[in-house]
Amino acid sequence: MRKLLSCMLILSMIIVPFSVQAAMIGTDQIVTTSVNQANRDKVIAFVNRSDVAKQLEAMGVRPAEAQNRVNAMTQDEVNKVAANIDTMPAGAFAPGWWWAIGAVVVAWIIYLVWK
């Protein structure tokens, strides 16, 4: 019995590599990980909102498919989307729309003057 046990221990020491390392984890790594997870949760919660789900369905995207797309995003993409969720006011025009509206108003004034 002892011989069998010692042979098994010797065999397991040969098979199992000794490359396991332990190191200190910095606070910045833990904070970054928690922020990344919070951003991913924020985007998933945004996609799961009922009004957003209705808009996505109107565009032909099922809610489950949208959630799969969020899960497939890289962390940089998730962080950018989460930042946009925080910075965009609800129901506001994007900056590009103000330029388009201004161009239409200027074109209308020029049309009325040259008429």
Residues 60-74 pLDDT 10s: 888 888 888 888 888
**Number of domains comprising the chain:** 1
Give me 114's structure tokens: 């040259």
The residue among 47, 30, 43 whose CA lies nearest residue 76 is 43
Q: Is residue 13 part of a domain?
A: no
Helical residues (DSSP H) of 1-115, grouped into ranges: 2-15, 27-48, 50-58, 63-72, 75-87, 95-114
One-letter identity of residue 33 = T
Residue ranges making up the domain that contains 43: 28-89
Whole-structure pTM value? 0.52
- Please check whether residue 61 lies inside any domain of the structure: yes
Cα–Cα distance, 42 to 86 (Å, whole number): 10
Q: Is residue 100 part of a domain?
A: no
With respect to residue 2, please indicate whether it lies within any of the assigned structural domains.
no
| Cα diameter, the chain | 107
Q: Tell me: the pLDDT tens digits for 10-44?
A: 888 787 766 666 777 777 777 778 888 888 898 88
Position 94 in a domain: no
